[in-house]
Structure 1
Amino acid sequence: MKPVGIEDISAYLGLAYVEVDDLFRARGMDTSRMANLMMRRKTAALPCEDVVSCAVNAARPLLDRLGEGELETIELLVVGTESGIDLSKSAATWIHELLGLPRTCRLYEVKQACYAGVAALQLAVAQTAIASREDARALVIGCDVPRLIRGSTAEPSQGAGGVAVLVGSRTTLATAELGAAGYCGFDVTDVRRPTPSDHIWDPDLSLMSYVECLRTAYGDYVRRRPDTDFFDSFDHLVFHTPFPGAVRGAHRSLLRSLGRFAPQQVAEDFGRRLEDSVRYPAQVGNIYAGTTLLALLSLFDHAGTGPAATRRVGIFSYGSGCSSEFCSYLLNSPGPTGTSGVADALAARTRLDVDAYDEIADACDPLCAGVADFEGDLSLAEKLAPAVSPDRPLTMLEHIDDHERHYVQLGGGRP
């Protein structure tokens, strides 16, 4: 079977942000929790950004980097999200149209909370591996624009944005180890969203479920690949990052289940194999279905090439409710590192004070699944877009009229 993996990856992580410590102080939260959270900033979505616009903006750089005629090789577009905008029609259909993808393309949406992005990636890898066309590709997008739970302990880590992955046989960045995966899933009510406006969250139960799934999914991986050693088999690790402190705690808990390790050993292992992956999530927040993919992108940009020809990364993704997976990819070396442009785009975002953030959040609040009419406010996006994306236009939601969504392109030096 032909090798399949990640050819390219890009992200759209918003135009504005708020400092997490500013938010803590404004909400009267216990600032001593900041060290455990390990969050620096969080993206603030504007009232013209939805899951479709974020997905299109994440994917556009990948398509622009394709050669002549290569767009026709994309045979699948799969979107992982929990910010769907229709109970029947997948967000992939809007995204497909706005990206100008070929009609000879499968389109669908995957929902399983934050696991959906990696679920979409694994589905795309499997389909591409058996495709009759040797140069077949898939476009995977994990994206979410969460409805903010203001005043809650979740708010400081709620981000917005999307990550797009191009899957194919030209495995520039990483090659999938087909069949190398372990799973854990069971029914738990740690997070529920029974309506567009309700978000019922049990943070303690959610973290306990996350840790239980990590241990069990990794154990299932080892059962399928019995020669695996947690320390020797993986040069890097990437975990779903609701906030970086959760990753640090889950990593510590897993090591405790594997043996007796001194706190210094645990800290050193986190710094060596996980810290690079949480750098971008610490500046963006939890983008749900896109978060594990963002952590993987952070690893690509920060890990360097390393001494070996190939290096293995263990990837753990968890979705509340719950379903999870521990899988592995081989990172190609040498390969492009620090070249995604994400670091520059994050630095170009505009800082908001909490009053401005609250005003924007109020304007975004009516923009939820099922809304029939909405007038997007493009004014701030028009000002901020050129700094974040000087060379490429960004897609924004202009308005919704009787459930019909209309989008417009801003800036980028192109009509």
Structure 2
Amino acid sequence: MSTATVGISGFAVYLPPYRVDLRQWCGWTGTPWDKIGSVVGTGFRMPGPDQSIYTMAATAVLRLIRQYDVDPARVRFLGLGTESSKDNSAGAVIVRGMLDEALSGQGMAPLSRHCEVPEFKHACLGGMYAVKNALRFLATEPGDPLAIVVSADIAKYALGSSGEPTQGAGAVAMLLEKRPALLEVDLAACGSASAYRAIDFRKPMVHVPGSGVCLRETPVFNGKYSTICYLDQALHAMRSMFQRLGRSSRDYLRGVKAVFMHRPYERMPLNALGFSYLAGLAVEAGAGQAEFVAYCAAAGLDPGQVLAEMQAEPGMLALVHKGMPGQEPWPLGMRLLREFRKQAAYQELVAAKLRLGAGRMRELGNLYSASLPAWMAAGLEEALAEGSELAGCDVLALGYGSGDAAEAMPMRIVPGWDAAAERIRFAAALAPVRDLGREDYTALHMRSGGPRSPGLRGEFVIDRVGSSSTAELADEGVEYYRYIH
């Protein structure tokens, strides 16, 4: 492990109360429930009219401070990871402002005046980029400072689009420090990968003549192409990590206790981990090569042809220029993956590694940058409930952001982790819940009404939005917030 011991000591989660039941949604839209239930999940959350990524982020951070008895004056880094910013100038400092006011109102010290407040944006990877930079800060900063990273997002897709059932909203705050209480991160061995993919998933500004520039709430995306990009970048990030660790992929993936990945929908991490495991076997000698050949034989495939395909660069940007972004670059590899799913080894080496917390994640939908940290929080709490002894076990966190880029972060669960895991309170964050009917769902989606937040204690809400553009006061579009005690 790295000489500088840094990592994660706590998680806190905030989810808005408004829930869409995907079985009911299938009834509204005529979509087959069997497919949605097996591939996507069971539900997702939506923000209310008086909520934003900033209110959700601030609520999650305040919960973190309370749940872990954090001294705000020690917090020297507050990072916000999001792709749902409503302000193109200010970032985490907005969250800081809400926190300072609420903390002062409760007789507590505000965050340190010397606290850094950066915002990180790269699709769904912004939160993990923030974590990596916060860990670098801790590794080089003298003394005993604390860092907090909060990932907050609203995943919104157009009504009737293929992405509609994969929506979601929420925030996850993480406490990072030296000598962590939960997860030690091997910062020196983290693997990175990135490549420009043009139309994978974008939110371009839309210019409307006569009205200036506005932000786009729903993405431009190409579903099949995005899936291919995820597989490719996850594979390259893991290869980078294995090289830095000095370990073979087969050795590491067989030994790791749990894997947590960015989760746009339930099936995606299963496919990515399974494909990466097979691609690792393809280039190994000895037992790894023998295992690869056996899977190829079961699928009726020539191992040499599959290996050549997996080693070739897929050239996905070229597919875009040809107007064929959905063309499969690994037809043989996908056939091999389908056969691998039928093997008992798949359950042991893929499904079992992704088991912890997976059931609860079926309820959350896609949280974009908050998806991976939410899964980590859910998984650690589930392991605690099961009485699992995880001290000293390796876990892998793999973040991904469309466009695209990935980070593979090897971690190790520290002794005494259960005391910190007891404070996560993921299950408690799932309540309260208000299931939406079709009319309220549509109204919230279209911003044409819908139920307002119930005004629960301990939450931040948007109090009002500025509308002045006079010489004396200009605050048009600026949100003002209120904390409900």
TM-score by length of 2: 0.76
Gap change, CA 1:364 and 1:263, over 3 Å in 2: farther
Amino acid at match of 2:153: D
Asked whether the 8 Å contact 2:40–2:166 carries over to 1, the reply is: no
The answer to whether structure 1 residue 143 and structure 2 residue 152 are counterparts is yes
Q: What is the distance in 2 between the residues matched to 1:301 and 1:38?
A: 22
Asked whether the 8 Å contact 2:81–2:119 carries over to 1, the reply is: yes
The answer to whether structure 1 residue 104 and structure 2 residue 114 are counterparts is yes
1:283 CA displacement? 0.8
Equivalence for 1:208: 228
Equivalence for 1:369: none
Gap change, CA 1:79 and 1:124, over 3 Å in 2: same
Equivalent positions of 1:71-220 (< 5 A) are 71-90=72-91, 92-100=92-100, 101-133=111-143, 135-188=144-197, 189-195=199-205, 196-197=215-216, 199-220=219-240
Amino acid at match of 2:433: R
The answer to whether structure 1 residue 363 and structure 2 residue 365 are counterparts is no
Q: 2:277 aligns with which of 255, 267, 275?
A: 255
Q: What is the distance in 2 between the residues matched to 1:280 and 1:130?
A: 36
Q: What is the distance in 1 between the residues matched to 2:393 and 2:68?
A: 26
Q: 2:463 aligns with which of 398, 410, 415?
A: 398
> RMSD across aligned C-alpha pairs, in angstroms?
2.0
Equivalence for 2:285: none
Equivalence for 1:306: 388
Amino acid at match of 2:115: C
Equivalence for 1:374: none
1:256 CA displacement? 2.7
Amino acid at match of 1:171: P
Asked whether the 8 Å contact 2:17–2:431 carries over to 1, the reply is: no
1:286 CA displacement? 0.8
Amino acid at match of 1:22: Q
Gap change, CA 1:277 and 1:213, over 3 Å in 2: farther
Amino acid at match of 1:332: V
Equivalent positions of 1:233-382 (< 5 A) are 233-257=255-279, 258=281, 259=292, 260=295, 261=340, 263-304=343-384, 306-307=388-389, 309-336=391-418, 337=421, 339-363=423-447, 380-382=452-454
Q: What is the distance in 1 between the residues matched to 2:204 and 2:171?
A: 23
Q: What is the distance in 2 between the residues matched to 1:398 and 1:36?
A: 40
1:253 CA displacement? 1.8
Q: 2:8 aligns with which of 6, 11, 14?
A: 6
Amino acid at match of 1:18: V
Equivalence for 2:58: 56
1:320 CA displacement? 0.3
Higher Cα Rg, which structure: 2
Asked whether the 8 Å contact 1:42–1:285 carries over to 2, the reply is: yes
Q: C-alpha offsets along residues 216-261 of structure 1, whole Å, 9 cap, x if unaligned?
A: 1111111112224233431110110001111122222223323335
Tell me the SS of whatever aligns to 1:151. Answer: coil
Asked whether the 8 Å contact 1:255–1:266 carries over to 2, the reply is: no
Asked whether the 8 Å contact 1:191–1:320 carries over to 2, the reply is: yes
Q: What is the distance in 1 between the residues matched to 2:390 and 2:150?
A: 30
Gap change, CA 1:211 and 1:14, over 3 Å in 2: same
Amino acid at match of 1:399: R
Q: What is the distance in 2 between the residues matched to 1:382 and 1:150?
A: 25
How many residues are paired up? 389
Amino acid at match of 2:262: H
Q: C-alpha offsets along residues 26-66 of structure 1, whole Å, 9 cap, x if unaligned?
A: 12223342244241110121111111001011111111245
Q: What is the distance in 1 between the residues matched to 2:448 and 2:272?
A: 33
Q: C-alpha offsets along residues 91-130 of structure 1, whole Å, 9 cap, x if unaligned?
A: x011011111222111111110001111100110111111
Tell me the SS of whatever aligns to 2:85. Answer: coil
Tell me the SS of whatever aligns to 2:430. Answer: helix
Tell me the SS of whatever aligns to 2:112. Answer: coil
Q: C-alpha offsets along residues 153-212 of structure 1, whole Å, 9 cap, x if unaligned?
A: 111111001110011124111111121111210001210100222521101011101011
1:339 CA displacement? 4.2
1:364 CA displacement? 6.6
Amino acid at match of 1:405: E
Q: C-alpha offsets along residues 249-277 of structure 1, whole Å, 9 cap, x if unaligned?
A: 22222233233355322123334211214
Amino acid at match of 2:260: V
Q: Please say which of residues 354-363 and 215-224 is displaced more in the overlay.
A: 354-363
Amino acid at match of 1:288: Y
Asked whether the 8 Å contact 2:9–2:177 carries over to 1, the reply is: yes
1:149 CA displacement? 1.9
Equivalence for 1:368: none
Tell me the SS of whatever aligns to 2:366. Answer: coil
Tell me the SS of whatever aligns to 1:129. Answer: helix
Q: What is the distance in 2 between the residues matched to 1:2 and 1:184?
A: 23
Equivalence for 2:106: none
Asked whether the 8 Å contact 1:302–1:338 carries over to 2, the reply is: no
Q: What is the distance in 1 between the residues matched to 2:50 and 2:177?
A: 32
